[in-house]
Structures are given as C-alpha cells and as structure tokens.
Structure 1
Amino acid sequence: MESLPLGICEGMEHISESVFVGLCEMVGTSQQVTLRRESRDISEMVERRVTPFNAFIRMMSGSQREGFRLKGSDLDFMFWYNNHRVIMDMSQSEYYNTANTTLILSDSSESPPGFTLLQLLTRFTYNAVESALVIMNGKVFISSSKYRNLTCSEVFPNSTVHGPCGTGIVGRTEYDTAFCFVCDFWPSSASSWIDRCHSWPNPEVVHDILRSGCHFVAIGHPLGPNENQEWRISFSQAEYKLVYSMNHSQFLTYGLLKIFLKEVINQQSEETNKLLCSYHMKTTVFWAIQQNTLPHWCPQNLLAGFWICFKLLLKWVYEGICPNFFIPQNNLFLTKVHGSAQNRLFLQLHELYNKGLACLLQSSSIRAYIIGVLYNPKLSVHTDERLLLSEIDLDAELLKDPTPFTIFPEGLTKAMHTIEQLLELPHYQTVTLQTLTVSIFQSLAFIALNKCTNTGVNKQMYIADKMSCHMLLRATKFGCISDMLYIAMYYYRTLRYREALSVIDMTKVKLARPYLMYWNGVDKERYTEAMGGQSWSTKMRQAVVMDIILNNKIYYINELIPEQQYALQNSRFALRIPTFVMLHFLEVLCSRHFDTTLSQTALYDLQVLVHHDQDLFVPDLLRDISWEILGICQQITGNFQAALYSYQQSLTQQPMNRIQTATRRRIQDIVSQTNINN
C-alpha cells in the first residue's frame, strides 16, 4: 500500500484546485462556514446565559454545528438538565452547591474504555431521572436504556430510538435528539489525547476543550457487562471545536470524505452500506491531521489529503480497528466491522483504492469538477474564495439558521444585558445579536401589555402602552419587513383596528417587492440590483422576510391562545407562522369589525394562499398552523363546514408546531355547535 496508483495523477494539483472550488460551492466557502458557526455560537451563548438553572440546556451538535449544509444533513441536538452535574471523583463535589445541584458520580471501574456507570449521589432530581433509577450492589444508578426510552420523544412526538437518540423526520429534515448529562471535567481515560497534541490543535484550542468537559449519552457498550445501565462518554463539544480549528482545505477534505462515503462507498452493496458512517470519516481526518501526514493542507493538495485519509481508513478496515480519537482503546469498529462483512468491505475499498483517485469519478457530485479539467487542462481555476461567493449567497446564509431559540420571559432582561455586553463582536455575530434584540423588544412589549391588562389600572396601562409601542417601533428599526406585523398584532389586541390595518397595508406594499428574500426563495438578479452594496440593516428592513415567532409563554392575540397553550404543554416553546399567512389572518380579524367586504376579500386571499401555495410563501413545514389559522377565520365568519375541513387538513400535516390537541378541541367545538344549531 506504499505506492500511490492515482490513475489521474497528471495535473493533480490543477484537479485538486477544481475539486476545491466545487466543494466550496457544495459545502461553502470559509466565509460562509464561519458565518454559520458564529451565528450558532452566539445564539447558544445568549441562550445558555439566560436559561433558568432548573431548565434544559440545548446544544446543536453534528454536521450542522460543524458548518455543513450538505443535502440530507440531519439536525443533531443534545439536551441536559442545567442543575445536574457529573463528577469524576468525590473530591470534585466541593465545586458545587448540593442544595440546588444534583451530583452524579462517574464510575468506569467495570466498564470498557469510553463507557461508564452513573451513580446518583443526591436525590434532588426530576421524574425522568427518578423513573430511570436502578439499584446495583446497594448503590443507586441511572439506567441509560430506561432514560433513553423515557426521553426519546421529549422534543418531537413519535420519535424512535436510534443509538442514544430519539430520531425522526420533520418535513424533509432528519433529526437526532440526545438527552444526556454534562460534566465540567475532562475524563482521565482521555488524558493521553492531551499528550498527543503537539502540532494540532494549538494550545489555546486544547485549553478550551479541556475546560469545556464532556457529556454522557444514554447508550452502553454492547459487549460490556452492564449494557443497559452504561453511558458512553461523548466528546461532541470537543469535536466541533476541533473541526472549527481546521483550515478550510482540511474542512473540505472532511466534506469530500462525507460525500465519498454517501455516493461511492455506501453504494457498493447492501451488505456493507451501513458499516461505515460520517463519524468514522471525521475520526480519520482528525488522526491524519494530528499525525502530520501532510505538511501543507491547501487547495493544491486537497486530493493528496483525501488519499491519505482513504488509505488510513482502508488500513483500519483491514485491521478491524478504528481508534476513537480521544480514547484510542475504544474501537469504533468493534461491533460492526468484523467477520465476513469486514472482509467484504475491505475488498470493496481495496478495489476503489486500486483505481486511484479515479475512484472519485464514481461520485456524481465530484465527477464534473474532475472531468472539466481532464478535458480542458488549460482551464483556469480560481481558488480565491472571494471570487467564488456572491453578495446574495452570503446574505442568504444569515437567514438559514434552522433553530431560532425562544427566551424564557423571566430571562428577557438578563438577555438584553448580555447582548449589550457582546455588541463589539464581529459583524456576523452582531447580525445575530440584532435579531435576538428584535425578539426581546417584541416579547417585552406584549409582556407589559399582558400585565397591565390584568391589573386594569388606567395610568399603568397608558404608560405600558407608550413603552410597548416604542419597543415595537424600535424593533422595526433593527428588524425585517415581517416585524411590522407585531405592531399590527399589538394594535389589534388593543382594539385599534384601523391603525392595525394601516400597518398591514404598509407591510403589503413592502411584501410586494420583487426582490424579497424569504426562506430559500429570492430573485437573485433583482435582489442584487436593488440591494447590492447596501448595509445588512438596510437589506433587513427593505428586502428580508422571516417567519412570525410567538413565544408560547406570552399571549399575543386571543384567537391563538389555545394553540399556544397546548403547544406549550407538548414542550413546544414557540409557534412559527408564515408571514403571509399572519398578514391575511390579521386583516380578517381587524376588518371584520367595520368592513365585512374587506374581511371576506382577506379571507379569500388567505384561502387561496393555503390551498394553492407550492412551498413558496407557505413552507411545507408550517402548513399545520397555516391550515389551523384558515380554519379559525372560517369558524369566526360562520363557515363551519369549511373550518372543519381546514382543521382536518391541519391534523394531516407535519406536527411542527404541536397544535394537534388544540385542533381536535376546535373540531369538537364545531361539532357541538352545529349539533346544537340543528
């Protein structure tokens, strides 16, 4: 295996540059990837600081967190109780206040490398943990299998167990949610990793990783003595920080391996297409970089880097050993890559190896970038990323974070203070902070309204109204076109229907612009012509549309209170509503008080939109709430048969907003009402 039968080695540097450019188009330029990472990091930083001590912390992990947006990439999230901490030995308990923190002891004395038992030391805990407890040798432990089954559908109903996660599909996106426990200390079983970090990563990254600790996910070693009770040590946080520390050529090599796995390796046979996974590819890249097998990872050496990783993977499959990057004694191949399946996989990989880099021609995504250079050797390839990325591509990235978070009402003031401290951050993080600030202003405005509505004191209501209106107007200065609808909601809630309609009319004018950017839809030519060279704040106000997000702990308009209440009972902290649906909804609600013709026209427009839109203004993921809102409008206007149909349609959609209980209650109300009328 010493020789390098590349097959297409002539002009390899030129081909590498072409593949580099292709991967930048598929995976993203370094600027795009940095933007994705920084947006997510700053969101989680604020979220973590304001989450109550007795609530769940959420962390995105996996390929999306690393900066990938490859087609088919799933969403991975880890959740853990903020007030539960795992310690490695009893001496570490002195760092915690046991009056409000539940301590758990990691006991790996009888477990295989990379796994441990979790002993509950204090009984201040929650139902899910209490129900997962088992007694072993007179001590209380948390059973991983019980805990996994109890929390599998905590985030998304009807999830199924997959490894340590609950998994399923929302819309076209697969997700994995892992409920775990956090530890502030680096495990001693991974101490050898620290000693290996001579050339990569640098000391600052190593220090950051060490002080971030690790997690424990709910799955045991299949060959261990306590599989149902054991937990696996997870280095997900360390891994995405390692990926962050890669240069862009190294990151694209990792991306190329992921693509090669999906489009070539896993297409060889059904017997072997489940043996290797993306995690094995990531482990390969980690080892290849740290072992310094390629002195210069750059666009011209991209395919050389890929080949080094592929040879290392082939060696591992031959030996049946894939060493975990942090705990090498933990063989990631132990239960899958062995026996006849291992032999079959090795023969398939070796056949690809014998083809040399020509094996990449079997990748449908990569083939064109290789053939283009082979047929035209003098083709000029520019690897300057600034020439590969248009202004609109970068702008679109700012709207692509799939998981905006909702701040608990009690944490809004603290969130605002946190954001003020962070305003000197780089541009892209400032954009994220700006979006969070808009959300906070809107939430505070309706919280103030709800408090004063409850007290009924005129002077307080007057002061609160002035303050709320000011905050909502400020939000539109920082926010996008759709944020104007929060003002319309506020006016509707305070019975100022004509003022609300005036805001709706202004919003309509802006939404009619031909260069709007909403979800992935935008006319690039018109957007560039109208918005090119403008500041991001100007683009937000003039061309960007986002969904309407309603915090389910804050009431906005009475007609949606049942949906918010039942969604909250089902652990959904926000309703997400298409802007164009909310626009017509508010127009129906406001105009029916003095202009029935306008109300009927608005209802007709809403009906056409919900019935006939093709994932343009009503994204498929949000059709549950869209049909629901149409049904509410039809029910209000007395068209019960149409409302019943709309509610039934809502129940057949993806349960993105978890409003099914509210929908069923509305159906019952209609049935009861029509029976009474009959």
Structure 2
Amino acid sequence: MSNFRFQDRVVYEHNTIYFLRFFNSLNMESFLPQICEGMQHMSETVFVVLCQIVGTSQQVTMRREMMDISEMIRRRITYHGTSTYMLSGSYREGFRLKESDFDFMYWPNKHRVIMDVSQSEYYNTANTALILSESSESPPGFTLLQLLTPFASKNANSACVRMNDRLYISSSTYLQITSSLMSSYSTLHGPCISGNIAGYDYDHAHCFVCDFWPPFASSWTHRCHSWPDPEVVDEIVRNGCHFVAIGHPLGPHGNEEWRISFSRAECKLVSSMNHCQFLTYGLLKLFLKEVVNQQSEETDKLLCSYHMKTTIFWTIQQNTLPQWCPQNLLAGFWVCFKLLLRWVHEGICPNFFIPQNNLFLTKVHGSAQNRLFLQLHELYKKGLACLLESSSIRPYIIDALYNPRLSICTNENIIMSEADYDVVSVMESLNVVHAIRNLCHTTKTIHMIEQFVESPMTHYQLVVLQKCTSYVLHRTAFLLQNMYTFTGVNKQLYIVDKISCHMLKLTAKFGYISDMLYIAMYYYKIFRYREALSVLEMAKVKLAQPYLMYKGDVDRERYNESVGGQSWSTKIRQAVAEDISLNREICYISELLPEQQSALKNKKSVVTIPVFVMLHFLKFLCYRHIDTTSSQAALNELQVLVHHDQGMYVHYLLRDISWEILGICQQMTGNLQAALYSYQQSLTQYPFHMIHTATQR
C-alpha cells in the first residue's frame, strides 16, 4: 500500500465507499446468512484493529481483575470513620484509550442512604448516619435526601437545608463544600470536580452510598430475560447504588435534589459483555470522538460517551443481533447507530435502568436536536463508509478491501505476544500499588495479605499481591529503622537491623530489579557503603540487559527470547524495573528530606525518582566515603543522563526531582555554579512533585 499511487487510491476509495453503501442497503437485521464474504473479512479486520486499540479479551480481563483486587484491598484496610472511593467510568470498565479519563466516586463510610425507614434496622445508628431517599416529588432518576440522624459528617451537616420542618442535604451546597477541599485548579462539571494532572483528566464525584436497589428501578430486574444473566442481575441488585450531587434542572427542587448513579451496576454490565460486544462499545466511543463530534462545533457537545454506553446496553438486551462475533462486528455497530439515530430523531434517550428518565431532555431538543439529526442522517446515508471518517479505523478498512484475499487471524494469542501481556501485568499492578500508597495501616495490610494468600485467586491477582507484598516489606523495613534509630539501645538496634535487612532481601526476591535499590538505600543509611555498592553493581548489570522492561517499553523479541515461558517471579527479578517511590512519612535518605517535606506540605504523598537517576545518585553518595574519583565518575554519569535524556529513562513528569538531585550532588562537591543551574532547571519543569519550596531554599 505504501507504493499505491495517489490517483489509484482516489479511485479505489471511491469504489470502497460505493461497496459500503451497497452493503448498507442489505437487510441488516436478517443479515448473517447472506452477507458477502468480503464484509465478514472487513469485520474481522476491524475486530483485530480494535483488539490493538482497545485490548484483547485477555488484556481487558487482566485490567479488571487487578482493579478488583485493588478495590478489595482498599475495602479491607479502610477504617469505618473515613471516606472510601472507587474507580468508575471507562477506565474501570477496562478501556485504556487516550481520551479515557479517571472517574472517582468518594463517599463517607459512616453514612448510608435507605429507601424506607424500616431498613434502618440493618444499621447501628450510634455510629452510622442514616439518610432517607424521598423521590415522590422528584423527576424519574432523582430524589431528595433527608438526614434522619444527627450523627453526620461536618460536610453533610453544613449542607443541610430545612424544608417542611425536615432537614435535607442540599446537593448544590454539598458540591460547593467538597469542591473547596480540592485543588484550586479544579472546576465544577456537573456533579463532579474536574481537573487535569500532568495531562490526565480526572472527575471526582462526592456522593452517598446506598446498600439497597431503588424500588423505582425495579422494572429493570423484570426486563432482564436474555441479558444479563440472573447471577449478574442478583449481584447488581445486592450492591445497591449511589447518589451524586446534582439535581434535575427542571425539577421542583433542583438545588436540593440528587441524581441516582448506577455506576457500579454499569461496570458490572460492561464486564458481562462478550468481547465482541465490548469492542463494539469501543468502536462507538471512537466513532463519537472521531466522526460525530467532528461534524460541527454547534453539536460536538450534545452526545457523550454515556449515550454510547446506553445505546449498546439497550441493543444487547433487545437481542436485535442474534450473534455477536468478529464476523459481524460491523453489523452490531450499525444496529447501535440506527438506534441512536432513532433516539435523536425522537428526542428521547431512555436511561437503561429508569427508562422514564430521558437523558436527552435538557440538551438534545429544539434546533440543536434538528441539526444533530441531520448530521447523523448524512452519516447514515453513507452507510458503513462513514467509518472511513474515523482516523483510527480508516487505514485498516482500506487495506482490508484492497487486499480481499489477505488472511485475517482473530486468534488473540497471535495478535498479542507474551511480552505484550506482561507489559499490561506490570503497568496495571503498579496502578494498584499507587492506589494503596496513601494507606499507612502497615499491620492491617500485612494481615490482609495473609488472608488473600489463603484464598483462591487468579494469576493476575497474584501478580498484584506479589507486588503489594514487596512494597509493604520495604516500607515496613524503613519504618522500623526510623522508629528505633534514636533509642540508643544497641541490642534493640541489632534486632531491628536484622529484621529490616531480611525484609529488604525478601523485597528483592518478590519484587522487580529496581527493588534492589531499597537495599542499597538502607545500607547507605546505616553507613555500610561497600555493601550498598555491591548491591548497586548487581542492579546495574541487570538494568543494562537489552531485554529490560521499563515504563512499559521493552524489546519484545529479546524479552521473549530471554525470559519467555518462564515463571512470573523469574521474569520480574530478571527483566522488569520501575521507578523508586519514597513515601512522605519515611526518611530514606537524609539528603532528600527537604524535598519530601516540601512535597508533604503541598499534599503530595510520594516522591518518585527515575530508577537510573537513583542508581547514579546512590553510587555518588556511597563513593564519597570511599573513592572520590569513582564518586566524580558517578556524578558525571548522572549529569549526562539528566542533561541529555529524551524521555527514555527520565519521564518528563520526573524531571523536576531529577534536576534537583543533580543539583544536590553538585552542591555537595562544591560546584555551586553548576548546582544553581540545576536548581533553576528544576524550577522550570512541570511541578509534578511540588518540591519548589525546597528548591528555592
């Protein structure tokens, strides 16, 4: 295709569009038996492309299972009196698209919403604030929340308004109060506090949780004949719902009402899809972003990803397509598109759980509705050729039609290599560990790990547990050393030192190559410089291997040749590295205490240092006490790395701390001019670690 002349491509694409329009004229609903071989070929091609963009079924399963165990860990080590949270939205569903933002739902543990006063018997009202849902005067999908007990949080009490001699929690006031606790860079977006951290969008929704299924959504459970399975329905009902802080704009109490959120149920429904259905959902999201929202600025905000999710839910449940498989993926997409077009024409998008709640009511109506319908209808008239407007899908559709005899393999084990799956395992397990880093209940976490070890777990969950174990071990080792350093009791110090060293060796046994650096840090801290350097030399050799997996980058061919087929424990000890994280409450290296304190002051819980920066930094520190020539050589290596790295070993978000460390080393050698330059460079980087106070000082 690279040598395909431009004139030929124009003619070819004209024929492609003609072919796709012809396909659209066929009866899609009675479709499979008579569909031409070429269309099955193209559907299989799109299936493979979506596996690469969205993920294979195994990749998506890995992501979900690892997030499941993350949630279980948080649940078990979070105290009753604090708040908890869950990840929701597309990231929780298993997507890792570029536009996937991070949706979090936070709620206070000691508050529960009930649907009926009789349900209060299930709670201890001495330590649980009860809130009654009153929906009789609210539009479908919305409710008022009456505070029944005085035992409530400061935020909930402050947001109360009195109506008809009863206290109700005002959603608008509650949202204002919770938003004031967030970063000054955040903005309000619907019921969420939205913002961007280092290029990643996030939505934080502060809400209340309910352990019961709302009675006004009971019709949904009776509607589930073909999908989802009864077991899924039962689990969804058992998990209840949430209430997010936004009222209906046309409701009688818009500032006080709360919207019912079925976010947890939706994640479960998405997980119950087969992979072809999930990829169709992904194709709808891409189609919305790359085609529909590119039609005009007037209509690019009318439809959202939630409408696409609602569309795929209804399409699957109505059993419009008899079989969802790679060969008819495009047929599934087209059925969804036709349903969406009908909804826009009618101005009604029924909520999947409460159909009386029209999701189009406040946006898709009047002249905006007409414009959107005309744009969608123009796309509809093009048939499946409208997918040629998608920048992600277009090249592959053209190639598939240009090479009709090209064999398409839909076997996921061939689409993705062993190294690809290992990359997902590493990246997802790191995300889980990041999620528990703020939890300082070390003893409780160790007990929790013991319980998990004795329970049945999947391979991917064991991967996460192994990483969590190494994290807890090295964290505990430094905590112990910090606690007993100033006791002055030699015997006690000897015992603590022996225990800490054993924990750190276990850390290296369970963890990645980079976890060896925690041993070196510990030896440096207790003045055992030669032992620290011995560990650093071993780590340096391993980190220099050409098959190293670092930050998701790896030479897949060399990786598969060197460690392919071996156990996961062998792989991570021999071929995987990550950056070094220093928790705010622990002193690891005294030279970095000002930076940790600055980060803590600015509510940054962890300082993350590139593994190669830390390697050279530790070598410099240790050699200063042994060999000044080698110390200068380590500093030279660090300087070359920080000055000239193009993002391969020093991520741009970690450049502030990297320049800072270089400045610290230069200042220690007396090269104050070079140190000043490095500190100034640190201040010009993205302030990911919020260490500017230490830098300026």
Asked whether the two chains share a fold, i.e. TM above 0.5, the reply is yes
Q: Quote the offset at 1:641 in angstroms.
A: 4.7
2:191 is matched with which residue: 151, 164, 168? 164
Q: Which residue of 1 aligns with 2:607?
A: 575
- Deviates further, 3-12 or 124-133: 3-12
Aligned CA distance change for structure 1 residues 465 and 317 (closer, same or farther; 3 Å) = same
CA distance in 2, matches of 1:223, 1:482: 56
Confirm or deny: 8 A CA contact 1:76 1:177 kept in the other structure: yes
Residue 443 of structure 2 is aligned to residue 416 of structure 1 = no
Kept in 1: contact 2:660–2:695 (CA 8 A)? no
Question: Are the counterparts in 2 of residues 51 and 408 from structure 1 also a CA contact under 8 Å?
Answer: no
1:479 aligns with 2:511: yes
Aligned to 1:225: 252
**Structure 2: gaps of 5 or more residues:** 1-22, 29-34
In structure 2, what is the equivalent of residue 23 of structure 1? 50
Deviates more, 1:630-639 or 1:434-443: 630-639
1:664 is aligned to 693
Going from structure 1 to structure 2, the CA distance change for 1:363 and 1:534 (only over 3 Å counts) comes to same
- CA distance 1:389–1:342, change in 2 (3 Å): same
> How far is the alpha carbon of 1:212 from its aligned partner?
1.3
What code does the residue aligned with 2:122 have?
A: Y
* Residue pair 1:406, 1:574 contacting (<8 A) in 2 also: no
Over residues 624-653 of structure 1, what are the superposed CA-to-partner deviations in whole Å (9 max), with x where a residue is unaligned? Answer: 332333333344444455444444444443
Task: Write the distance in 2 (CA, Å) between the matches of 1:342 and 1:409.
Answer: 48
2 CA distance for matches of 1:374 and 1:630?
55
Which residue is equivalent to 2:15?
none
In 1, the alpha carbon distance for the partners of 2:613 and 2:193 equals: 31
Partner in structure 2 of residue 381 of structure 1: 408
1:214 counterpart = 2:244: no
Q: 1:603 to 1:389 in 2, by over 3 A?
A: same
User: Percent identity at matched positions?
Assistant: 67
Whole-Å separation in 1 of the counterparts to 2:42 and 2:399: 9
Counterpart position of 1:358: 385
CA pair 81-523 structure 1, distance change in 2 beyond 3 A: same
Superposed displacement of residue 153, structure 1: 6.7
Aligned residues of 1:152 and 1:177 also touching (Cα < 8 A): no
- Paired residues of 1:153 and 1:160 also in contact (CA < 8 A): no
Q: Which residue of 1 aligns with 2:582?
A: 550
Q: What do the CA deviations read for 1:540-568 (whole angstroms, capped 9, x no partner)?
A: 01111112122323332223334334434
- 1:58 maps to which of 65, 85, 106: 85
Check whether the contact 2:682–2:695 (CA below 8 A) recurs between aligned residues.
no
Q: Take 2:296 and 2:684, find their aligned partners in 1: how far apart are those partners? A: 36
Letter in 2 for 1:664: T
Distance 2:639 2:509 in 1: 32
> Where do residues 33-112 of structure 1 align in structure 2 (5 Å cutoff)?
33-112=60-139
Change (3 A) 1:415 1:311: same
Structure 1, unmatched stretches of 5+, are 669-678
Q: Measure, in 2, the Cα distance between the counterparts of 1:99 and 1:571.
A: 33
Residue 130 of structure 1 deviates from its aligned partner by: 4.3
CA deviation profile, 1:74-104 (whole Å, cap 9, x unmatched): 2222222222222222222222223332333
Superposed, 1:166-181 pairs within 5 Å as 166-181=193-208
CA contact (8 A) 2:480 2:496 kept: yes
CA 1:605/1:126 → structure 2, altered by over 3 Å: closer, same or farther?
A: farther
Cross-structure match for 1:305: 332
2:290 is the alignment partner of 1:263: yes
Aligned to 2:174: 147
Query: 1:171, 1:620 within 8 Å by CA — same for their partners in 2?
Result: no
| Residues 97 and 591 of structure 1, relative CA distance in 2, 3 Å threshold | farther
Is 1:615 the counterpart of 2:635? The answer is no
The 10-residue stretch of structure 1 (467-476 or 411-420) with the greater mean CA deviation from structure 2: 411-420
Are the counterparts in 2 of residues 133 and 140 from structure 1 also a CA contact under 8 Å? Answer: yes
- Cα distance in 2, alignment partners of residues 656 and 182 from structure 1: 33
Deviation (angstroms), 1:516: 1.1
Q: Identify the residue that residue 675 of structure 1 maps to in structure 2.
A: none
Range that drifts further, 88-97 or 344-353:
88-97
Deviations 1:339-373 (A, max 9, x none): 11110110111111111112112112112332223
- 1:633-652, aligned counterparts within 5 Å? 633-652=665-684
* More deviation, 479-488/495-504: 495-504
What's 1:518 paired with?
Answer: 550
Letter in 2 for 1:71: K
TM-score scaled by length of structure 1:
0.93
1:483-498 alignment, distance < 5 Å:
483-498=515-530
What residue number does 2:17 align with?
none
Aligned length: 663
The equivalent of 1:673 in structure 2 is none
Q: Is the 8 A contact 2:683 2:695 kept in 1?
A: no
Equivalence for 1:332 = 359
- What's the RMSD between the two structures over aligned residues? 2.3
Q: Which moved more, 1:527-536 or 1:152-161?
A: 152-161
Task: Judge conservation of contact 1:134–1:140 (CA < 8 Å) in 2.
Answer: yes
Q: Secondary structure at the match of 2:87?
A: strand
Alpha-carbon shift at residue 292 of structure 1 (Å)? 0.9
CA contact (8 A) 1:7 1:358 kept: no
Shift of 1:485: 0.8
Deviation at 1:531, TM superposition (A): 1.8
**1:676 alignment partner in structure 2:** none
Cα distance between partner residues in 1 of 2:474 and 2:149: 40
1:253 to 269, 273, 280: 280
User: Contact 1:115 / 1:233 at 8 angstroms: preserved in 2?
Assistant: yes
Q: 2:633 aligns with which of 594, 601, 607?
A: 601
What is the distance in 2 between the residues matched to 1:634 and 1:150? 46
Instruction: Say which of 200, 203, 225 aligns to 2:230.
Output: 203
The 8 Å contact of residues 112 and 209 in structure 2, kept in 1 or not, is answered as: yes
Please state how far the C-alpha of 1:392 moved relative to its aligned partner.
0.9
2:124 counterpart letter in structure 1:
N
CA offsets, 1:119-141, max 9 Å, x none? 33334444444443434344333
The answer to whether the 8 Å contact 2:302/2:363 transfers is: yes
SS at match of 2:206: strand
Match in the other structure for 1:536? 568
Q: How does 1:623-634 map to 2 (within 5 A)?
A: 623-634=655-666
Contact 2:24 2:384 in 1 (8 A): no
Q: For structure 1, which segment, 301-310 or 77-86, has the greater mean C-alpha deviation from structure 2 after superposition?
A: 77-86
SS of the counterpart of 2:146?
strand
Q: Secondary structure at the match of 1:167?
A: strand
Q: Distance in 1 between matches of 2:151 and 2:592?
A: 36
> Is the 2:110–2:128 Cα contact (8 Å) retained in structure 1?
yes
For the pair 1:445 / 2:477, whether they are aligned, the reply is yes
Whole-angstrom distance in 2 between the partners of 1:134 and 1:379: 67
Deviation at 1:234, TM superposition (A): 1.2
Q: 1:79 and 1:589, CA in 2 relative to 1: closer, same or farther beyond 3 A?
A: farther
- CA distance in structure 2 between the aligned counterparts of 1:440 and 1:485, rounded to whole angstroms: 15
TM-aligned CA deviation for residue 447 of structure 1: 1.8
Give the aligned residue type for 2:559. Y
User: Could you say if the C-alpha distance between residues 130 and 579 of structure 1 is closer, same or farther in structure 2, counting changes exceeding 3 Å?
Assistant: farther
| 504-513 vs 98-107, greater mean Cα deviation | 98-107
Output the CA distance in 2 between the equivalents of 1:639 and 1:493: 24
Separation in 2, partners of 1:281, 1:549: 39
Partner SS for 2:112: strand
* Pair 1:296 & 2:323 matched: yes
Compared with structure 1, are the counterparts of its residues 380 and 225 closer, same or farther at alpha carbon in structure 2 (3 Å cutoff)? Answer: same
The Cα of 1:380 is off from its aligned counterpart by: 1.5
1:426 aligns with 2:458: yes
Query: Are residues 302 and 73 of structure 1, via their aligned partners in 2, closer, same or farther at CA, if it must alter by over 3 Å?
Result: same
Instruction: Give the partner amino acid of 1:523.
Output: D
